[in-house]
Structure 1
Amino acid sequence: MTKSEKIKTLQGISVGEVAERSGVAISTLHFYEAEGLIESWRNGGNHRRYSRDVLRRIAVIRVAQRAGVPLKEVAEALKTLPQGRTPNAKDWARLSAVWKAELDQRIETLSRLRDELTGCIGCGCLSLKACPLRNPGDRLAADGNGPLLLSGSGEN
């Protein structure tokens, strides 16, 4: 590492450089910081600075978001890392395994919803015995006939 690289490492990188290198808007970086996902400090000129490892942390955040993991879950997962450090390959394997199980469950639920939704769109009534979305197991049958959900008599 050259002397100028060492100095730059100690000084950190600017918010603009982090935004450019990560592909994330500056406002998003500020949001991530407010949510406790990343950290910065202020230099002598009161400019926001980041350590270089924040780029990897942002990459992990972005991948998790693309996979549908809510930011609150990402923040909690990152807090489990020793001393709040940036995730390494072993950490990523552990975090992604948890998220994969949650994603598999969501995919299963959405697939079932997709398959059942087609039948409901075909009938349009949302109160038939066969409607698994609004009246599973025909639970509204005991309340009588008609559009119970629309009249406010049945459960939502």
Structure 2
Amino acid sequence: MRKLGLRCATTAAVFAAMVVGGGVAQAAPVAVPVYQIPATAFAVSGLVVPGPVFATVTARSLAPTTTEFAAPASPSACATTAGRALVKISYLNVNTGASGSVTVKPCEYFIDPTPTSVVANTGSGRIVLTTQVVGSPFAPAAGQPSIPGIGTFHAP
């Protein structure tokens, strides 16, 4: 009988916490694996050494219909001429037909007002995306010449 009373008290406490606290907490954003061939940009370091920089897209599911896109670059890539470039991500949901395009900056400390991540209403299903390294208004030739990339992921 004592165990039954303890169970009832525990259940009542959980219910009270949900009612008083405003309900069940929202799930944290979930990283979604993106299978891709990243866009490739041209970069020159401070030692005037040319080389490639890869714009790899990351995706996080925030809700059943929204996805947060980003293309973070490493500090070494941000120290090159490509650190002033932007990444344009165009997406298509092959299940619903929802499509759009967003632009993010890969380097957090670059002065361009473009955000480092953007939330898009992609819908749920298979998403196909293309990526392109583009110059910014502050450095139109940054990362050029470049080769576009392509990728896919499943948005929950």
**TM-score normalised over the length of structure 1:** 0.23
Q: For the pair shown, which has the larger CA radius of gyration, 1 or 2?
A: 1
Higher strand share: 2
